[in-house]
Amino acid sequence: MIIMLAVDCMGGDHGPSVIVPAVLEFLRQDRDCSAILVGREEVIAPLLAQAEPALKRRWSVQHASEVIGMDESVASALRGKKDSSMRVVANLVKDGRADAAISAGNTGALMAISRFVLKTLPGIDRPAIASTLPSMTGHTYMLDLGANVDCAPEHLLQFGIMGAMLAAALDHEERPSVGLLNIGAEDIKGNEVVKRASELLKASGLNFIGNVEGDDIYKGTAEVVVCDGFVGNVALKTSEGLARMARTFLKQEFSRNLLTKLAGLVALPVLRAFQWRLDPRRYNGASLLGLRGVVVKSHGSADSFAFRHALEQAAEAARQRLPEKIAAGMAAALQHIGPAPTLCD
Amino acid sequence: MIIMLAVDCMGGDHGPSVIVPAVLEFLRQDRDCSAILVGREEVIAPLLAQAEPALKRRWSVQHASEVIGMDESVASALRGKKDSSMRVVANLVKDGRADAAISAGNTGALMAISRFVLKTLPGIDRPAIASTLPSMTGHTYMLDLGANVDCAPEHLLQFGIMGAMLAAALDHEERPSVGLLNIGAEDIKGNEVVKRASELLKASGLNFIGNVEGDDIYKGTAEVVVCDGFVGNVALKTSEGLARMARTFLKQEFSRNLLTKLAGLVALPVLRAFQWRLDPRRYNGASLLGLRGVVVKSHGSADSFAFRHALEQAAEAARQRLPEKIAAGMAAALQHIGPAPTLCD
């Protein structure tokens, strides 16, 4: 089966100059994929000139006259720009011409456009943003990371199902473990929303392991960690801030004087190996889950290596028919939990 | 002025064997302080036997027959054990016999007992837990870290005032900057509670700099970061988890083979300097704010060095009469904000 990726070439800090070469490199590496490069043709075409002839049958360019700015409001992106590259990639998925959409643009706009164009899956009230984080035992999927700031227990249940299906699809695992982010392991901890969500998750038929705490994200206690978008966004950005500070301190200490610089030279291969294990580029690609189609958001600052990782994730999610799996997972959980009243009280 | 510290010697993972020597070392270092060592006399007394005579006038032992377990329920700690070491230190502060209470015991029990014995300050609905975190520019105070899971905007305002007074007292700064933890810098971001809290903080007369995001904690964008206890606890524990993982990875990479071990040996002084900058022991001591008395919670696993830091913090907060400053700050903010309706809607 050929997987067709619709790639927004105009988003992100670097735009086509990084994205187009990343797509070409990805096509070389994954021979089962093809790509539609979307954006200003006059910018994209020259970047394709040097691609080897063998690749030529696996990409096409679709012109889109408008670009959504990184700081543009959701309203203006959604209503004002009908021919934006972001809108076009979503339309390509909707029309069945592509299996997945990838963009490094404005997250809020991508979420709004995807939701408007593709619609949510049956049983899903709100799409969520899921990302992968490194852990002591491999990696952890976490959601929501900022799409939903005020969540009801039912939303957290839906996130649990979506996260479990994402982990199942990307890691080819049957029953990934799901934990609910809380401030203590005991059932009595947390606020009312979390307590009720815990009950729903217990009844859902998922492999729910109960409450987990902040440090469990990196311990790898659960394969999927569920939380509302406010908490998830804070946890993610706090982690980014701490990692940046630690990197800065490490650099500062190694460049303090000639002696420490020499020590740094000796330790360089080890420090590189260490950095590699925490390299956020290896985890680039946040999934917009709960939509009738695969949409992956790359970090705006992604380089070619990182963008390729987002493409890989999108291709795998499409190959595994993730949206269908989420819909099926949702239906199965509702059957477990029982009649609607439980979900609508 | 002599500052009298009431120290719960029975709390924490190590109990008197670490705490008593830490107190003695602290008394040697800060000649303006005295201490009441509270707990089982038969355990504490032998540990004091070797203390030099010059110190003897600066400590006394107060027997307390009961100990609150690290996992004991708040109800049992509060109602069942009237002669616990934790209860006795709180009573000593209440009776004016000590200027501050310090315990490495069970946080929930310490909060409940302190609140019950000491009561909250006028204008403060709920005490909060504040801690210090390292930042690129020095350190950041953050609260609440878990005492309050469901906060109204008024509570976040109170946390802002308490945090500002804490920073003012410990750093001797006049108008420390206060930021509100949110998921975006713009005013329109976040949930309803945070939006309303932002308005109150703006009107409070504090040096409020607006919304900050998770990474700002470590950037040092604001000297005080305010959030509800659920979010704060997750941010803190997520940070602990990430730091632990990074330390483990670094150790693993340096012990991979003979060559990396040699590199580690060469880099050891630099790595130690790096670790020192992030060493959580240097930030040990969480303040229970909003009470009619100074109460400081040490980490349960604190060693002598870390416990001393908690003692230093408690002494400085007492010296600066932190509770009185918080009460005054609260009154001033209410005057700025205007009549009560704003705070009670």
Chain A positions touching B144 (Cβ under 8 A) are none
**Nearest-CA distance B260 → chain A (Å):** 6
**Predicted pLDDT at A340:** 52
Q: Do B214 and A135 touch (CB under 8 A)?
A: no
Q: Chain B contacts of A260, Cβ < 8 Å?
A: 269-270
Q: Tell me which chain B residue has its CA closest to the CA of residue A238.
A: B214
pLDDT band at residue B127, thresholds of 50, 70 and 90? very high
β-strand A138-143 against A128-135: which pairing, if any? antiparallel
CA–CA separation, B122 and A42 (whole Å):
68
Look at B274 and A242 and tell me if their CB atoms are within 8 Å.
no
Give the mutation candidate from B74, B145, B183 for the A interface (greatest A CB count, under 10 A). B183
Percentage of chain A surpassing pLDDT 70?
A: 98
Cβ neighbours of residue A235 closer than 8 Å, sequence gap 6 or more: A142, A181, A214, A217, A227, B214, B234, B235, B238
Cβ neighbours, 10 Å, residue B115: 20
Contact between chains at A214 and B236 (C-beta distance less than 8 A):
yes
CA distances to A87, B121, B123, B200 from B222, in Å: 38, 25, 24, 17
Could you report the per-residue pLDDT of B258-285, keeping only the tens digit for each? 999 999 999 999 999 999 999 989 999 9
Q: How far is A78 from chain B (nearest CA, A)?
A: 18
Residue A321 token pair:
């028919």
- The band of B345, judged by pLDDT with boundaries at 50, 70 and 90, is very low
Share of chain A above pLDDT 90, in %: 85
**What does the alpha-carbon distance between residue B25 and residue B305 come to, in Å, rounded to a whole number?**
9
Peptide bond into B144 cis (omega under 30): yes
Instruction: Look at residue B251 and tell me whether its pLDDT is greater than 80.
Output: yes
What pLDDT does residue A83 have?
94
Whether the Cβ atoms of residue A86 and residue A295 lie closer than 8 Å to each other: no
**What confidence category does residue B341 fall into, taking pLDDT thresholds of 50, 70 and 90?**
very low
Query: Contact B99/B323 with Cβ under 8 angstroms?
Result: no
Model confidence pLDDT, tens digit, residues B141-197: 999 999 898 899 999 999 999 999 999 999 999 999 999 999 987 777 788 899 999
Candidate from A125-139, A178-192, A295-309, B225-239 with smallest mean pLDDT:
A178-192
Question: Is residue A340 packed enough to be buried (19+ CB in 10 Å), middle (13-18) or exposed (0-12)?
Answer: exposed
Helix axes A258-278, B229-254, angle to 10 degrees: 110
Residues of chain B in contact with residue A231, where contact means CB-CB under 8 angstroms, are: 230-231, 234
Question: Residue A242: closest CA among chain B residues belongs to which residue?
Answer: B218
From A146, A241, A243, residue closest to B219, measured CB to CB: A241
Question: B1-118 and B123-286+323-345: same fold?
Answer: yes
Of B149, B183, B274, the CB nearest to A253: B274
For chain B, which residues make up each domain, given as ranges? 1-118, 123-286+323-345
In this prediction, residue B339 carries a pLDDT of 62
Confidence (pLDDT) at B340: 52
Residue type (1 letter), B193: V
Give the per-residue pLDDT at A188.
72
pLDDT at A344 over 70: no
Do the chains contact at A229 and B183, CB–CB below 8 Å? yes
Give me the DSSP letters along B40-83: -HHHHHHHHTTS-GGGGGGEEEEE--B---TT--HHIIIII-TT
Helix boundaries (H) for B85-152? 85-94, 107-118
- Taking the CA atoms of chain A, what radius of gyration do you get in angstroms? 21
Q: Span A127-153, mean pLDDT?
A: 94
B260/A274 Cβ within 8 A: no
Spacing of C-alpha A29 from chain mean position: 21
Residues in chain A closer than 8 A to B191 (CB atoms) = 149-150, 230
Q: pLDDT tens digits for A112-131?
A: 999 999 999 999 999 999 99
pLDDT digits (tens, 9 = 90+) for B58-93: 999 999 999 999 888 888 888 889 999 999 999 999
**b/e code B194-222 from CB counts within 10 Å (16+ = b):** bbbbbebbeebbbbbbbbbbbbbbbbbbb
Q: What pTM was estimated for this model as a whole? A: 0.92
Residues of chain A in contact with residue B254, where contact means CB-CB under 8 angstroms, are 267, 270
Q: Are the beta carbons of A246 and B214 separated by less than 8 Å?
A: no
Query: With contacts defined as CB-CB under 8 Å, which chain A residues touch B156?
Result: none
The structural architecture, per CATH, of the domain A132-283+321-345 is: 3-Layer(aba) Sandwich (3.40)
Res. A345 pLDDT band, cuts 50 70 90: very low
Backbone angles phi, psi at A290, to 5 degrees: 100, 5
* A269/B260 touch (CB, cutoff 8 Å), yes or no: yes
CATH topology of domain B123-286+323-345: Isopropylmalate Dehydrogenase (3.40.718)
CATH hierarchy code of domain A1-118: 3.40.718.10
A266 φ, ψ (degrees, to nearest 5)? -65, -40
- Chain B residues with CB inside 8 Å of A249's CB? 274, 277-278
Query: Which candidate from B213, B217, B263 shows the least CB-CB separation from A266?
Result: B263
Show the tokens assigned to A324: 């269908």
What span, in angstroms and rounded, lies between the C-alpha atoms of A315 and A321? Answer: 10
User: Helix B322-337 crosses helix B192-203 at what angle (to 10 degrees)?
Assistant: 90
> Measured between CB atoms, which of B191, B241, B248 is closest to A149?
B191
pLDDT at B54: 86
Half-sphere exposure of B166 (CA within 13 A, CB side): 34
**Which residues from chain A sit within 8 angstroms of residue B238, using beta carbons?**
214-215, 217-218, 235, 238-239
Q: Which of B191, B238, B262 sits opposite A238 (nearest CB)?
A: B238
In angstroms, the CA B279 to CA A249 distance is 12
Q: Give the pLDDT band of residue A80 (cuts 50, 70, 90).
A: confident
Question: What ranges in chain A are assigned the alpha helix state H?
Answer: 16-29, 41-48, 74-75, 85-94, 107-118, 153-171, 192-203, 216-219, 229-254, 258-278, 304-319, 322-337, 341-344
What's the average model confidence in pLDDT over A94-111? 96
Q: pLDDT tens across B4-54, in order?
A: 999 999 999 999 999 999 999 999 999 999 999 999 999 999 999 988 888
Band of the pLDDT at B344, cuts 50, 70, 90? very low
Mean pLDDT of chain B: 93
What pLDDT is recorded for position A339?
A: 62
Report whether pLDDT(A184) > 90. no
Q: Which of B213, B241, B271 shows the shortest C-beta gap to A214?
A: B241
Return d(Cα A282, Cα B184) in angstroms, integer: 25
Our CA-based measurement puts residue A146 at a distance from the nearest CA of chain B, in whole angstroms, of 7
Predicted pLDDT at A193 = 92
> How far is Cα B245 from Cα A243, in angstroms, rounded to an integer?
11
Taking the C-alpha atoms of residue B180 and residue A185, their distance in angstroms, rounded to an integer, is 27
Q: Which of B214, B241, B274 sits opposite A237 (nearest CB)?
A: B214
Inter-chain touch B233–A214, beta carbons under 8 Å: yes
At what angle are helices A153-171 and A322-337 packed, to 10 degrees? 130
Burial code (b: 16+ CB inside 10 Å, e: under 16) for B148-167 equals: bbebbbbbbbbbbbbbbbbb
B295's tokens: 């109460």
Q: Which pLDDT value is given to residue A185?
A: 74
Which of B214, B267, B277 comes nearest A235 by C-beta? B214
* Residue that is written with structure tokens 């990302």 in the block: A131
The three-state secondary structure class of B306 is: helix
How far apart are the C-alpha atoms of B63 and B83, rounded to whole Å?
9
Q: Which residues from A are below 8 Å from B183, CB to CB? A: 146, 149, 229-230, 233-234, 237
Bond prior to A83 in cis (omega within 30° of 0): no
> How many Cβ contacts (< 8 angstroms) between chains A and B?
169
